[in-house]
Amino acid sequence: MKKIQILGTGCPKCKMLMENAEKAVKELGIQAEISKVDKIQDIVKMGVMMTPAIAIDGQVKSCGKVLSSDDIKKLLS
């Protein structure tokens, strides 16, 4: 099962990235655990300086922009 983390403090862009990740998982029909990382210390610990960011299986894949569900699907495939 894929582990997807959305890193951000809860801004509208972070929420949109979370929705796009959920949509991508649903469209791919895969099992994934999607969680939110919203504590600044935890975000910085992962090496992220700009949010929103997305990490898949512990690896940061994108920072500072809202990926579309299609972009996220490419990262998951």
In a domain, 58, yes or no: yes
Residue 77: pLDDT band (50, 70, 90) is confident
CA-CA distance, 58 to 13, in Å (whole number)? 21
In a domain, 46, yes or no: yes
> What is the set of active-site residues?
11, 14
**24-46 burial, b for 16+ CB within 10 Å, e for fewer?**
bbeeeeeebeeebbeeeeebeee
Residues 3-20 have pLDDT tens digits of 999 999 989 999 999 999
Strand partners, 33: 3
Write down the residue that tokens 């996220």 correspond to: 72
In a domain, 14, yes or no: yes
Looking at the 3D structure of the chain, how many domains does it have?
1
In a domain, 77, yes or no: no
In a domain, 28, yes or no: yes
In a domain, 48, yes or no: yes
The answer to whether 51 and 63 are in contact (CB under 8 A) is yes
Q: Give mean pLDDT, residues 61-73.
A: 97
In CATH, what number is assigned to the domain containing residue 31?
A: 3.40.30.10
In a domain, 55, yes or no: yes
Residues 6-65 have pLDDT tens digits of 999 989 999 999 999 999 999 999 999 999 999 999 999 999 999 999 999 999 999 999
